[in-house]
Amino acid sequence: MSEHPPRTTALQSYELDEVEVPIGEAKQTVRAIRITIHGQNIFLRAPEPIVRIGDTEILYPRIEPDEQTITGYITDQPPEGAAITLEYPGLVPVAVPERFTMSKLQPAS
């Protein structure tokens, strides 16, 4: 049997846009920031992925079927310059090369 080398997860860039979404226990519509992270080998696995911006864990992380995109939401603004990371249990967190900045925020359309 030939070896299957690990397919390493890599993150490349991210986008921010302002959205109004019904989230939380009460499913009330709130203003939130959606983050869309692009990369490679963002696997749909058994463990839930954990995405953090600094110390803030994003809500509802969702991996798209292309396994190259993961989206999620934040309702509190993280600090400028915070690292954006994706983590699976047992693996070293992977970071987006760019740091977080609100200057990338696209207003609600």
| Residue ranges that bind another protein, judged by CB under 8 A | 1, 3-8, 21-23, 27, 41, 43-48, 59-60, 62-63, 65, 67, 73, 88-91
CA distance 69 to 73: 14
* Rounded (10°) CA dihedral 40, 46, 47, 53: 30
Q: How far is the CB of 17 from another protein (least distance, A)?
A: 15
Of 67 and 99, nearer to another protein (C-beta) is 67
Tell the smallest beta-carbon distance from residue 60 to another protein (Å).
Answer: 4
Which lies closer to another protein via its Cβ, residue 5 or residue 107? 5
Positions of E strands within the chain? 10-23, 28-40, 50-53, 56-57, 59-63, 69-74, 84-87, 94-95, 105-106
Smallest gap from residue 80 Cβ to another protein (A): 26
Q: From CA 58, how far away is CA 39, in angstroms rounded? A: 17
Pick 27 or 55: Cβ nearer another protein: 27
